[in-house]
Amino acid sequence: MDRSTLPEINYDEVYLFDISSKVSFWDLPKEVVYELFRDGRTASRFLELKIPDLFRDFEYVDGSGYDWLKELVKKVEGKCYTKGGCNFAPSKMVGSSRKVKPDEVQKHIEENDLDYILMDIREFPVIRMRFVKGSELIKDHPNCKIGKSKKMSKKYGRYSDNKPRQEYLSWLVDIFREAKRVLEDDGHLFVNMGYSNIDPWVGMEVGLALREDWILQNHINWVKSIHVNGKTSGHFKPINSKRFVCPTWEHLFHFTKDGNVEIDRLSIGVKYEYYEANIRGNNTAETKPNLRDKGNCWFVPDETINSKELRGKHPATFPVKLVEDCLKMTGRDLGVVLDPFMGTGTTAVAAQIMGWDYIGYDIDQDYVDFATSRLNRGLTSILT
């Protein structure tokens, strides 16, 4: 196996593995085998041996209180998430006659600078994994137990994306209803929703939920990677699955109040492939520029920034150019952008570059601080 092709870990990502085609035992029915592996005692041994085959730079060591070494330095412990939840205390503390001692767990984490792989096996043979820093895990769960109702979700700094679906949709409807109240009649609302193989309807459900208050004027596909004429451009996060292809695009919904707001398509236009063929009839090079509408599939590669210090600890970032194209398409030279989910401040950076005013907020102070730092760096470069 060429281990260089294996993915590197990202502490903000939920990794999905579907191993339904690889699991069998004697002549037992698959569902029986699956149920056996939904027991952490069965699955943990199997998974601890397989982790080095799934991620780069991992070596199984079976150490005291940890299972792997990352890059032969970092200690990593694996814990299974079953229908009863996840107890991440050391095994010697887990059991009906044993007592979990949070102070000792915290000491164990600090002394070993320990990280965890949480492995959700509740829907085996589909396995979800998330890497978590031990210091964050004990801070979020001081009793060393993650409740059985918790969803394995993306980690947004100090909060998790784990609202029940209907509550999540209602929450978004309320937020964007307030946005509509303060938006000018000829204003625009752009909503980016990612695509997930394990939850493929969520983006469309958000779009449907908002149609009570908004008109969907354009549905744009943000394409992050594409293969055309023998060449691959852009990149994406790979998944290991026998059922799913890797997602290489996301939803970008363009809403307006009445569906009749003019846009400037050529502000983000592209050149004709055969421009001379379009200079015919009354058209001339002076009257018909070499520029056309690029349609509703926008190829905007993700920015290749691996350092969290530079890109921020956020699991759902997007490139500055994507926001710039949205602002240009409005046909306005200047304006005010409101972002109710500021995150690491990408929208603010795009507004700053284009000279727009910006209003943004986030419930995580770390994101606010990071966004402010990005904007200050940008201001410094402009002034100097």
Cβ count within 10 A of residue 156? 21
Confidence bin at 181 (pLDDT 50/70/90): very high
pLDDT at 41 over 90: no
Give residue-wise pLDDT tens across range 293-351.
999 999 998 875 544 444 445 445 789 999 999 999 999 999 999 999 988 899 999 99
SS3 235: coil
Give residue-wise pLDDT tens across range 227-282.
999 998 988 777 767 778 888 999 999 999 999 999 999 999 998 887 777 676 67
CATH for 165-383, among 3.40.50.720, 3.90.79.10, 3.30.70.100, 3.40.50.150?
3.40.50.150
Percent of the chain with pLDDT over 90: 32
Domain ranges of the chain: 3-152, 165-383
- pLDDT value for 382: 45
pLDDT at 4 over 50: yes
Average pLDDT for 181-187: 97
Instruction: Yes or no: say if 255 and 192 are a contact pair by the CB < 8 Å rule.
Output: no
pLDDT at 221 over 50: yes
247-to-112, 191, 195 alpha-carbon distances in Å: 36, 18, 7
- pLDDT value for 357: 96
Instruction: Yes or no: say if 226 and 236 are a contact pair by the CB < 8 Å rule.
Output: no
Average pLDDT for 56-64: 72
Q: What DSSP letter does each residue of 165-200 carry, written as one string?
A: HHHHHHHHHHHHHHHHHHS-TT--EEEEE---TTST
96-124: b (≥16 Cβ within 10 Å) or e: eeeebeeeebbebbeebebbbbbbbbbeb
Confidence bin at 30 (pLDDT 50/70/90): confident
Instruction: Yes or no: say if 98 and 109 are a contact pair by the CB < 8 Å rule.
Output: no
